[in-house]
Amino acid sequence: MSDPPLGRYHFLSWSRRGIGASVDNPDAGSLPSRASLSVQLSVAVQPGNSSSTVQPAALPVQMFGPGDVIGLDPRHVVRTEPRNFTVNFEPNYLCGVEFDTPDLPWLFTPAAAKNDRLRPWLALIVLTPDEFSQPSIAPNPLPVIDVSKISVLPDLADSWNWAHVQVSGDTPIASAAPGNVISRLLCPRRLDPETSYSAFLVPAFEIGRQAGIGTDVSGIATADPAWTNATAAPLRLPFYYAFEFHTSDEGDFESLVRRLKPQVLPADVGIRAMDVSNPQPGIAPAGPPPLGLQGALQSVLTVPTPWNDPQKSAFQADVQKFVNNPDASFDPSQPDPIIAPPIYGRWHAAVSAVERTAAGWVNDLNLDPRDRSGGGMGTQVVQTERTALMASAWQQVDGVRAANDLLHQAQLARAALQQILRAQFVKAQSATVLHVTAPLHSKLLASPRTVLATVRASRVPERMLSGTFRRVTRPRRRLGPTPVTRPSLLERVNSGEVAIVPVPKPPDGMVPIDTISQGAAPQWMLDIAKYSGWILLAVVLVLILLVAIAAAAVGIVAALVVAAIAVAVGVSLRNWLRNIAQQAAVVNDFNPANFTPAAVAATSPNPGFSVTPAGAAPAAGATSSRGSSIACAPTRSAARPPSPPSSR
């Protein structure tokens, strides 16, 4: 079973979207400065209930071309390979630029694809410091460089081969997420190790080059390549984007691996002859011939030494008897203990004896002299490094102990919480649980809504679940039912037994001060008072104009009559506007928004003001509320309740 793919990528040689996909002139030979299309509109006319379609004559429409581009937003560049100011770029890689728009490299190319090939209107060039110079002139409209070596520039006839679209995943390009579709432009130049380079994004067509250096391109009708092999140096090129980098002395890991030269090692590499003719008294020899002791690293030509009978069977029978000696003892208190060779791997395989006729790695390991040599070497390593190995073992034990401590603490916490649940929450009233869990109500769901939203929608006020309310209403003494069986105030409010006192209503017959300020004068009167000065000035100008017209048309006598009438009208209008201004001032004074500490402090005190008790006559000289002044008349009128309609 194969592993699932980590990712799928699709590469397209070009991309066009929108109206640009309708361009039909193929990319071959000399191209026009702009691509043109024949556009015909269809107009649906619906006079009344009928419908008809009108198609005006087709008109040629020109699209933007490379000569219309005088700048490129650097935010279109989402990545450069390598990054700017990289100091160790692999020289066997290609330099590239990635754009967030999938059709940007072909957006202004004035042609359509031919044989799935479409040249981009941009080109990426990479130059060393001695191959170009940057003149000290201001960009007009783009910054420029002077290329002194034309041969290092890529061949623009093959520029279609160095631009493509990358689609991540199997989603079609039209419906793929913006981050999954990018366009990439590469420079085909092979880089040298330990060299500094500057990369420039330049126009690939001559008309774009001329527009970038500030030349008027209105008279250029073709879009030819910006350079060829016959172009003379130096060549001035504008650039839209630039970055710098330095290559390393070697390539990537793959290039280093490819430098390795394979070599076939001889057959004696990884194996050594081992004499087994005299192993120990009482043990039959395992040879001759000598057996080959193989190492972990050996040649592909190495062949294991065959070990045949009768030496093999005789040796294994004696070793089995020696290793499985039943009289062997590891008790150091014995006067003369019998010590037998160890059975390597006995604890891992959970065996206490070996059997040469049975299959298994433990039998092969202990009954073959070549494998027992490796086991003995491992024993010597353990004996030499026993202190470090024992310390490492104790460190592992410490980790096990720490894990066990955490497990025991978690078990203790779980048991404690279970006890608290059984002793406190299970026996507690619902109201008590609701009080205790109040801080979590906004995060717990009681239904489609949270607990807090459910409480707010009920007849229980939210403040009843606060800690302050709980402390105030907590029972202080046991009079009557115990607190456990006594119904809580929250339950009584929720059931409707206890009702929350509503906000007290104002007594009937009281007139709020807002009503006084709003009823003292209508809105139109306030508007006239606001612009009374301009109204009076306009009326005066109109009257003067009428007097002048009467004097010029009728005579001086008629003009005097008109002037007298105008004076009378002006005086009446002024008095009327003055009364309106006074009423508006009263409304403004009674507006609660104007009752500020500064306004009260600015009011001059009345030295004769005194408070008169009810039923008593005002003191002599004191300000009395009897009578109605002109300023108080609107206030009294607004504050007076409407009289019932009279019946006739």
pLDDT at residue 247 is higher than 70: yes
Q: What is the pLDDT of residue 143?
A: 96
Could you give the count of Cα atoms lying within 13 Å of 206 in the half-sphere of its Cβ?
A: 13
Higher-confidence position of 295 and 512: 295
pLDDT digits (tens, 9 = 90+) for 211-236: 999 999 999 999 999 999 999 999 99
| Calpha distance 346→349 (Å, rounded) | 5
Q: What is the pLDDT of residue 631?
A: 47
pLDDT at residue 647 is higher than 50: no
Rounded to an integer, the average pLDDT of 306-311 is 90
| Calpha distance 341→322 (Å, rounded) | 7
pTM of the model: 0.47
pLDDT at residue 369 is higher than 80: yes
Q: What is the pLDDT of residue 89?
A: 95
Q: What is the pLDDT of residue 520?
A: 63
Q: What is the pLDDT of residue 538?
A: 81
pLDDT at residue 648 is higher than 50: no
pLDDT at residue 193 is higher than 80: yes
pLDDT digits (tens, 9 = 90+) for 250-264: 878 888 888 888 888
Task: Read off the pLDDT band of 43 (50, 70, 90).
Answer: confident
pLDDT at residue 336 is higher than 80: no
For the record, the structure tokens of 364 come out as 């092969």
Kindly list the domain boundaries of the chain, sorted by start residue. 66-257, 271-384, 428-495, 513-591
Gap between the terminal Cα atoms of the chain:
106
pLDDT digits (tens, 9 = 90+) for 615-631: 777 666 555 544 444 44
pLDDT at residue 518 is higher than 70: no
| Calpha distance 639→636 (Å, rounded) | 5
Considering the chain, what percentage of its residues have pLDDT values greater than 70? 88
Amino acid residing at 67? G
What is the 3-state secondary structure of 547-594? HHHHHHHCCHHHHHHHHHHHHHHHHHHHHHHHHHHHHHHHHHHCCHHH
Q: Which of the given ranges, 341-350, 402-411, 606-615, has the highest pLDDT on average? A: 402-411
Higher-confidence position of 239 and 494: 239
Lowest-confidence range among 29-43, 192-206, 435-449, 546-560?
Answer: 546-560
* Residue 419 φ/ψ, nearest 5 degrees: -65, -40
Lowest-confidence range among 43-57, 351-365, 480-494, 633-647?
Answer: 633-647
Task: Read off the pLDDT band of 645 (50, 70, 90).
Answer: very low
Three-class DSSP category at 199? strand
Q: What is the pLDDT of residue 414?
A: 95
User: For residue 268, what are the CA distances in angstroms to 277, 298, 372?
Assistant: 21, 8, 21
Considering the chain, what percentage of its residues have pLDDT values greater than 90? 40
Q: Which of the given ranges, 481-490, 506-515, 528-537, has the highest pLDDT on average? A: 528-537
Higher-confidence position of 113 and 637: 113
Q: What is the pLDDT of residue 44?
A: 82
CA 159 centroid distance within chain: 36
Q: What is the pLDDT of residue 355?
A: 92
| Calpha distance 82→105 (Å, rounded) | 19
Higher-confidence position of 409 and 40: 409
Task: Read off the pLDDT band of 2 (50, 70, 90).
Answer: low
| Calpha distance 508→210 (Å, rounded) | 88
Rounded to an integer, the average pLDDT of 197-205 is 98
* Long-range CB contacts (within 8 A, 24+) of 350-354: 353/323, 353/324, 354/320, 354/323, 354/324
Higher-confidence position of 205 and 49: 205
Q: What is the pLDDT of residue 550?
A: 76
pLDDT at residue 382 is higher than 60: yes
Q: What is the pLDDT of residue 549?
A: 80
Higher-confidence position of 602 and 178: 178
Rounded to an integer, the average pLDDT of 499-516 is 71
Beta bridge partners of 112: 26
Q: What is the pLDDT of residue 97?
A: 98
Higher-confidence position of 532 and 638: 532
Task: Read off the pLDDT band of 481 (50, 70, 90).
Answer: low
- What is the residue-averaged pLDDT of the chain? 85
Q: What is the pLDDT of residue 620?
A: 65
